[in-house]
Amino acid sequence: MASNTENYEFHWNQIESGAPEKEPARQYYFMETAKGLLKAKFEQDCASGEALERYGEEKLEEMKREGYCGTCCVTTFGCQMNAKDSEKLLGILESIGYQPVETEDADLVLYNTCTVRENANKRLYGRLGQAGARKKKNPGMLIGLCGCMMQEPQVVEKIRTSYPFVDLIFGTHNIFVLAELVSQCLIRQNVKKHRTVIDVWDGTDQIVEDLPADRKYPFKSGVNIMFGCNNFCSYCIVPYVRGRERSREPEEILKEIRRLAEDGVVEVMLLGQNVNSYGKTLKNPMTFAELLREVEQIPGIRRIRFMTSHPKDLSDELIQVMAESKKICRHFHLPLQSGSSRILEKMNRHYTKEQFISLARRLKEAVPGISLTTDIIVGFPGETEEDFEETLDVVRQVEFDSAFTFIYSKRTGTPAASMEDQVPEDVVKERFDLLLKEVQEISARVCGRDEGTVQEVLAEEVDSHGPGWITGRLSNNTLVHFKGDPSMIGHFFQVYLEESKGFYYMGRLA
């Protein structure tokens, strides 16, 4: 009699031998494969009564009616790049036959991880413990991990040994092979041969287009224009886990945005670790400003946003395009990190305090009413009181609309983690509180500059204030709450901004 391992290898070899070599055809083949495997399992569970016990009669009938054979939950940690990746992961899982749900009691739970700060790792381990308890009650559950944290070998080893119930681990470079990996997991489950499927790539120059995605919003969407980062800021783990910069071909980006516009999308967010360096790796180089001009020509798209931008690559050409555009939103996220030129050099940021202030002034002069937001780190190794005062000085001069402020977190694997002169915790906390107070006071004043005017607002969601209220967003990214109903979501309205509440407005339809 064949062993479970032999059974698995026999079934997998049979399936893989029929797979196309080229992408995305290979992945569509595995979507159909996984769909068949999942359907067979679902029908077996329905026949045994297990499905009725797990889902209940009403839910089971709904799944049958809508053609689903299981449920899935993708939990996202971290940045908007991860959020966009999760849309792609959900799209693939839906194609296989999984119904997206909010609860982690699903048949397949996938954690898309972040590793920018080490406490993110601790949060994940806590969630994994809970997932393990749920899997004991539902042994057929699949648990997967992907994203930046999985690019760290020591993390993968810890999960393999301490959380052996995890079924699937993959990284940032091969999310497009999810259907292939799920197929392996379902076969292992079928032949009762559990072993964690681990497929983490060190890097890739491959960008696979035309895979399904499940968008969170029908009227707006993120669009990846590039992947990876070449900057190697001394405190940041991202280049090590996301890989080197790779730009998508402009034709593919524009094709995706045209398709989104045809599907009712009116706002796009162009995404990259550093969008300002877009196009440098292309066979026929193209600047980010040139790409923006092309996106502007697409009918149906009324708003264009982008992030993240590195100050060292912010060009006069980009500022000019923003100044001339009627579609590019009046919002620019420009990470400062520190106001001290000495600390900026230690951070490997490649600009000075004076250069940053000059950029901010040029943006404000070119685009009247622009909202400038930023990131600031307090307590970087070697930061003195004078360095911190330099940061406060930039905050006062530039007058950011808002700032994401962070206490420096030592990140293993980065040059900054081994730097001397780590700042005492109590000193960092005191500086952080001072910075936060300064930022909030300036923000409360600056953000109210449009009070008493009529502005265009994109209605985005039902407001948490209560029934009859809608939350929308200005071009400059400020939120507006006004009376309305769910039918307004995804449409533009002229709204009179009655009162500024510091970080948002209360308004009424004009």
Residue numbering of the annotated binding site: 79, 114, 148, 229, 233, 236
| HEC sequence for 257-273 | HHHHHHCCCCEEEEECC
Q: Report the C-alpha gap between 334 and 313 in whole angstroms.
A: 11
Q: Report the C-alpha gap between 244 and 246 in whole angstroms.
A: 6
Which one, of 239, 220, 243, lies nearest residue 231 by Cα?
239
Contact 137, 106 (CB under 8 A): no
Q: Give bridge partners of residue 456 from the DSSP assignment.
A: 494
Distance from the Cα of residue 213 to its chain's centroid: 14
How many beta carbons lie within 10 A of that of residue 459, not counting itself? 24
What are the binding residues for [4Fe-4S] cluster?
A: 79, 114, 148, 229, 233, 236
How many beta carbons lie within 10 A of that of residue 213, not counting itself? 19
Distance from the Cα of residue 317 to its chain's centroid: 27
Angle at 341 between CA 339 and CA 342, to 5 degrees: 115
Q: Report the C-alpha gap between 446 and 287 in whole angstroms.
A: 32
| HEC sequence for 192-240 | CCCCCEEECCCCCCCCCCCCCCCCCCCCEEEEECEECCCCCCCCCCHHH
Q: How far apart are the first and last CA of the chain?
A: 77
Element (H, E) at 176: none
